[in-house]
Amino acid sequence: MQDKLKIVCLGDSITYGFPFGPQASWVRMLSEVIDGEIINKGINGNMTTDMLNRFERAVLNNNPTHVIIMGGINDVICGESFDRIVWNLRSMAEQALAANIQVILGIPTGVDDPYWEKLLTRIRLWIKNYAKENQLKTIDFAQAFFDADGKLKDELLLADGGHPTMAGYQAMFEQINLEIFD
């Protein structure tokens, strides 16, 4: 067992830190408060199929103690099926668990499109249920983007309605309970 934390953050542009770059990402913010190595493996435009296809290279080959997996928004935008999205997420989680890597599932952020948001709500619910059934930890990034009444906080999103502002990335970071890495 490794003495030090080594966390791979696997995802899309919202893990990468688009459009500001990795230095503005929630991943960098996490790296400033964790004693360990944090690896940003977010790639702009990735769908969960892309993440699954590069899972061995991006995650397993880095031999981390933990992986944070977050994806699904690009899948929804591109019309990928619910079944494919959850199959991809489950496959990544199972590969990580088989390699003795602790799995943390990121709950996808809010988007300013009612149709896509409806589809994402179903994915979020599946992730929460899957995590509960399999004793996996989650980070509810979506929670940062909704007020107490469930209204989207538009001010945390760029004009594209999908990518976080600088304040949005900060709000995402604030959803991370550092005890999940114990």
DSSP assignments along 131-156, one per residue: HHHTT-EEE-GGGGGB-TTS-B-GGG
Where residue 26 sits, what CATH number does that domain have?
3.40.50.1110
Is the pLDDT assigned to residue 182 strictly greater than 90?
no
Q: What angle do CA 8, 91, 40 make, to 5 degrees?
A: 15
Cα angle 108-111-115, degrees, rounded to a multiple of 5: 105
Query: Residue with structure tokens 């940062």?
Result: 144
Query: Helix, strand or coil for residue 164?
Result: strand
User: For residues 54 and 74, what is the distance between their CA atoms, to the nearest angstrom?
Assistant: 16
Residue 6 exposed, middle or buried by CB count within 10 Å (0-12, 13-18, 19+)? middle
Contacts of 139 (CB under 8 A, 6+ apart): 68, 70, 104, 105, 106, 107, 175, 176, 177, 180
Q: Which domain holds residue 64?
A: 5-181
The whole-model pTM stands at: 0.97
Total domains present in the chain: 1
The pLDDT of residue 1 is above 80: no
pLDDT digits (tens, 9 = 90+) for 101-155: 999 999 999 999 999 999 999 999 999 999 999 999 999 999 999 999 999 999 9
Q: How far is CA 135 from CA 83, 123, 140, in A?
A: 21, 18, 15
